[in-house]
Structure 1
Amino acid sequence: MKIRRFQFLTSLSLLLIFSLFPSFSRAQNNPTFTLKELVQQARDNSPAALRAKNRKENSFWQYRLFRSNYNPQLRLTGTIPQYYQSYNQITQPDGSIEFLEVKQNLMDLGLGLEQVIGATGGTVSVNTSTTRFDNFLSYPGEPKTQYSGVPVSVALQQPIFAYNVYKWDKKIEPLIFEESQRAYVKEMEEVSIYVTQLYFEYLIAQVNSEIATSNLNNTENIFTIEKKRNEIGVTPEDELLQVELQVLNAQQEMAEAQLELESAAFSMNSFIGLNQSSKLNLISPENIPDFEVDVDRAIELAFQNRAEAIGFDRQKIEAASALAQAKGQRFQVMLNARYGYNNAALNFPDIYQNPNTQSLVSLGLSVPILDWGRNKARMSMAMANQDLVENTLAQEKITFEQEIFTKVKNFLMIKERLNVTKVSDDVAQRRYDIALRRYQTGNVTISNLNIAQNEKDSNKRAFYTSLRDFWMAYYELRSLTLYDFENDQLLYVPEKQ
């Protein structure tokens, strides 16, 4: 008896597990999302968001590379070894030529600390170096190995009246980096806009499927009622056929709605990175955040926060940089100065004993005397480009401001329209429910019921369309200003450099 009881309990347990497993599996494959949860899912996992993060990371390392140009650079240089063996042509004192075998080795090693002078565009460096020379075919009594070295030397390279790339990069590169950081925030908001569009495509398809299912059930019930009325002679044959045709149309609409739902699910799952077999259950975001948006405040925030606003300043500086570069190419003057010590010895330690002074000063010039108007043309082109940039930016600022103005007004209009369509949806639904009850009692004709059904369906779709437009405008407003009006906070706070 105990064995049978154990077998019975085991079988019952397995039966319960297998009966629960399909429902568990369906629950796993039918995740439920609110709009904001799905937006966050897309911002975390979608390929579009990951690409935006990669671009942000690339811009960060590009900025780090720029910053490293202004830090000291410690360099090790050398040739280890440079072996040479050949027969060389040597001219003798009497003018004759003798071919002598040469077998030599040369090794040199240098260490230098270099620092850019950002204000002037020059470089200053501190260097030390050692050279070893080996002559493997030296005559008896001659040294086989010799050393020379520079214990320490200080060098300066300074262009004069030249274009200072370090000065202009210090103005431009931080703006480029700041643009990229703000552009990343805007890209993420654009991901939110797109996933909101997909969300409502799926939600509206889901609503259409529910409408089609409800209409099919109601039409089938009406057809059943009309068949009974036809049997007792109340409903004529042509009206019965009309209702039967409505059943067939409802079945077709049901199939089309299901196909539309599957297509919307595929697009959604592909974008946010979910399994294609997942059937989403979306919660309608009908709780509308209550906040006010002032047009002037929105324009002010856009100019403060958007990457495009920083881009206006950057383009002006780049135009000024191009003009400075054209001026710097008119002539070139380079000052080179070096001061230090050097020595030569037969033993390596001796090169650091009583070294000699080593100094060098040179001023190189490159001044065009006759260039057939080349410098003038270059300067004129740079100045014309600067004027073009300033005029273009003036127009772009007007367009930028107009875009914010239009979008804010559009948002306010959509918000008002949403309230109207919500009331219309409720009224149309109540009217249909009343018409259906009156039809069932014989007080409303099938034509009036069909009119009420069509109005119910169109008003429900209009409500969800307005709901979609509101949430897309909501995220678009965030994208245009990089500001969260709902929570009254910035979406991007610049980091201290």
Structure 2
Amino acid sequence: MRKSTLIVILIVATVLCSFRANSQDAMTYTLEEMVERAKEISPASLRIRTKRENRYWQYRQFKANYNPQLRLNGTIPSYSQAFNSITQPDGSIEFLEVQQNFIDLELGLQQVIAPTGGIISVNSSTNRFDNFLADTNEPQTRYSGVPVNVRLQQPIFAYNPFKWDKKIQPLVYEESKREYVQEMEEVSMLVTNLFFDYLLAQVNFDIATQNLANSEQIFSIEQKRYEMGVTFEDALLQVELQVLQARQDLAQAKMDLEGSTFAVNSFIGLNQYDQIRLISPTEIPQFEVDVNRAIELAFENRAEALGFIRRELEAEAQLAEAKGNRVNMQLNASYGYNNAAFNFGDLYQNPNTQALVNLGLSVPILDWGRNKARVSQAQANQRLVEYTVDQERINFEQEIFTKVKNFIMMRERLEVTRISDEVAQKRYDIALKRYQTGNVTITDLNIAQGEKDSNKRAYYASLKDFWVAYYELRALTLYDFETQTLLYTEEEIEG
């Protein structure tokens, strides 16, 4: 008998030790810690960082278009061996065997002229021709080349993409940097929702656990009263049903908690089997939010505010492009030296002057209204963009106004639900004690328990709404009203 008792004690001790070990292994997180972890290693934050890097290199590519470029062009080699048809002076055709090679190389330094849209370049080129079937008394190799040459390609009255890109692309890049901060704050909002979904599941689990313990205690009391003949069987059966319902509620709460654990762990990059425990963020930051100041900050910092300006510029650029396409005129000019020789070194001895100027022109005389339609469409599109942006500015301001007012209301409601939770808990504790002494019916106790549970859930729902609105306010203004600091800094973006 003693041996079996000892075995049972050892088994119970092992289970308790295992439970304690699992409890100790559970990682504890505050909301702030969860948000920081999500911003650091969550798949969502990694995607946002990759998107930022992509935008950065796009901007670097745009900047590189305005820097000088050293280019090497050529063909090495171009070998040919065939019978070619050669037209003779009398008009007849002779088929002659050809075996030759041609090499040409050009090294040029070119620079974009952004204000005019032209391209200027300094070039040097060399050509070599080898005739492998040349007679013995003829040179097999010949050279020609341009020791130095300056070329200009300048569109006239045309659309200048370099000029407009210099206005638009910096705004696009600035938007992307601010979008990065906004999207990171949106990650904070997402993880806050998951945090409180888990926290509410954790609270429901604690409520279900406590309710089951209370129901079993009440059932034990009712059994004793029934045995003493001071209560009826229907009251005992009612309590027994409550115990069964409490067990079902606990099983459901455990399932919901496991689902919330998986969702949180997946989002912040933890293993789905990792045990976590969340700490309720009941300490509410105290700061004032002025609606007008919030609207001002939103227009100063948000990517959308820059987007309004960029879209208007893009519409203006499209109109300029439509007008520029009416006349196609380009000036090509070059000046330099060229030469031909049998030896490569002789190319640079007494070269000849080389000059070229031409003005290409293409003007539609009769296009049946194509140009007019294209320009009119661009003008109509510009007006549409202006009207749309004006309306979106109004909607943007209205959104900030509504969200700030909502945040202020959330804080006030949170205080009311907090007090209601405390009052409902206190009422239930008193009702439970009075029931134990026989001064309250089981129905009144159940009502008190229901109010306790609903008010506690309402408090945590209000807590969730407040913190989601808190991070939403940060995302809307890119400003931390608690510390009175901007979230958008050049060092943070470029880092």
Indicate the TM-score class for this superposition, using the shorter chain for normalisation: over 0.9
d(CA) in 2 for partners of 1:363, 1:150: 23
Cα offset, 1:22, TM superposition:
5.4
Alignment counterpart, residue 78 of structure 2, candidates 75, 82, 86: 82
Please state if 1:295 is matched with 2:294. no
How many Å separate the matches in 2 of 1:38 and 1:391?
A: 42
TM-score (normalizing by structure 2): 0.94
Q: Distance in 2 between matches of 1:278 and 1:339?
A: 74
What's 2:32 paired with? 36
Alignment of 1:154-193 (within 5 A): 154-193=150-189
Matches of 1:156 and 1:122 in 2, distance apart?
7
Alpha-carbon spacing, 1:78–1:28, altered in 2? closer, same or farther (3 Å): farther
Matched, 1:149 2:145: yes
**Equivalent residue letter for 2:366:** L
Residue 404 (1) aligns with residue 394 (2):
no
Query: Cα deviation per residue 1:147-183 (whole Å; 9 max; x = unaligned)?
Result: 1111111000000000000000111111111111111
Asked if residue 62 in structure 1 is aligned to residue 86 in structure 2, the reply is no
User: Which secondary structure state, in structure 1, belongs to the residue aligned with residue 410 of structure 2?
Assistant: helix
Q: CA deviation at 1:24?
A: 8.8
Q: Which 4+ runs in 1 deviate beyond 3 A?
A: 18-25, 494-497
2:300 pairs with one of 304, 308, 311: 304
2:354 aligns with 358
Whether the aligned pair in 2 keeps the contact of 1:29 and 1:277 (CA below 8 Å) is: no
Structure 2: distance between partners of 1:68 and 1:80: 28
Compare 169-178 and 156-165 and name the one that shifted more.
169-178
Superposition pairs for residues 325-474 of structure 1, below 5 Å? 325-474=321-470
- Aligned equivalent of 2:233: 237
Query: Mind listing any 5+ residue stretches in structure 1 that lack a counterpart?
Result: 1-17
CA separation of 1:360 and 1:27: change in aligned 2, threshold 3 A: farther
Give the Cα–Cα distance (whole angstroms) in 2 for the partners of residues 377 and 366 of structure 1: 19
Distance of 1:95 and 1:271 partners within structure 2: 82
Give identity over the alignment, percent.
67
Q: Which amino acid aligns with 1:270?
A: S
User: Structure 1 residues 351 and 28, CA, compared in 2 at 3 Å: closer, same or farther?
Assistant: farther
Normalised TM-score (structure 1): 0.94
1:264 is matched with 260
Q: Which one of 257, 266, 279 corresponds to residue 275 of structure 2?
A: 279
Structure 2 residue 190 is matched with structure 1 residue 194: yes
CA distance in 2 between partners of 1:78 and 1:304 (Å): 51
Alpha carbons of structure 1 residues 347 and 25: separation in structure 2 relative to 1, 3 Å? farther
| Other-structure match for 2:216 | 220
Letter matched to residue 256 of structure 2: E
Bigger mean CA offset, 77-86 vs 464-473 = 77-86
Using a 3 Å threshold, how does the CA distance of structure 1 residues 246 and 406 change in structure 2: closer, same or farther?
same
Aligned equivalent of 1:94: 90
Aligned residues: 480
Amino acid paired to 2:140: K
**CA-based RMSD:** 1.7
1:122 to 111, 118, 122: 118
> How far did 1:196 drift?
0.6
User: For 1:106, what is the secondary structure of its paired residue?
Assistant: strand
Residues 217 and 27 of structure 1, relative CA distance in 2, 3 Å threshold:
closer
Distance 1:468 1:404 in 2: 20
Aligned counterparts of 1:451 and 1:103: Cα–Cα separation in 2: 106
Question: Which residue, 246, 249, 254 being the options, matches 1:250?
Answer: 246
Cα pair distance change 1:232/1:24, threshold 3 Å: closer
Question: Where does the alignment leave 5 or more consecutive residues of structure 2 unmatched?
Answer: 1-13
Q: Secondary structure at the match of 1:288?
A: coil
Letter in 2 for 1:170: K
